[in-house]
Amino acid sequence: MSDRKVVNDPVLFRKLDNPFDSEESANRAIESFYEGVRELRQKFKLPNVAIVIECGVMRESMREGRAFSWAQMGDTQKSEDLLAYGFGQAVAERKEMVAKLLAGITGEVPREQ
């Protein structure tokens, strides 16, 4: 089974990381994204999906802020399972990255404790 696919594209990230003009425009974009995911979920027959979104938004005070949203589609009893799995994978990947970095600096791979 294919595990997490990490897409690290700094050029695209910089292009996308411009704040939405307002909270309303961010909400419209997020809801449209969710609708697209709902359609893809049906097309590819994926019963349970969890999504976490973070984006920039200009507040009414004209100060830039960050907005977060999340959605779970499918069996609502699986929300914690899905998100915990994703969190665990992210932690494991971060540990692996740090171990490789340390191995490059010291020439040794740290042992699991």
Query: What is the pLDDT, as a whole number, of residue 4?
Result: 61
Is residue 89 within 8 Å of residue 2, measured between CB atoms? Answer: no
Please tell me whether residues 52 and 87 are part of one structural domain.
Answer: no
Please tell me whether residues 43 and 20 are part of one structural domain.
Answer: yes
Please tell me whether residues 16 and 56 are part of one structural domain.
Answer: yes
Please tell me whether residues 11 and 64 are part of one structural domain.
Answer: yes
Please tell me whether residues 67 and 80 are part of one structural domain.
Answer: no
Q: Give the range of the structural domain holding residue 28, as residue numbers without chain letter.
A: 7-74
Distance CA 6, CA 78 (A): 23
Query: What is the pLDDT, as a whole number, of residue 106?
Result: 67
Please tell me whether residues 70 and 101 are part of one structural domain.
Answer: no
Query: What is the pLDDT, as a whole number, of residue 97?
Result: 87
Please tell me whether residues 29 and 67 are part of one structural domain.
Answer: yes
Please tell me whether residues 31 and 43 are part of one structural domain.
Answer: yes
Query: What is the pLDDT, as a whole number, of residue 7?
Result: 77
1 inside domain: no
Distance CA 69, CA 101 (A): 32
2 inside domain: no
Please tell me whether residues 61 and 105 are part of one structural domain.
Answer: no
Query: What is the pLDDT, as a whole number, of residue 109?
Result: 58
Query: What is the pLDDT, as a whole number, of residue 60?
Result: 87
Q: Write the single-letter amino acid at 95.
A: K
- Report the candidate in 111, 96, 69, 67 with the shortest Cα–Cα distance to residue 6: 96
Please tell me whether residues 68 and 14 are part of one structural domain.
Answer: yes
Query: What is the pLDDT, as a whole number, of residue 3?
Result: 65
Intervals of the chain under pLDDT 70: 1-5, 106-113
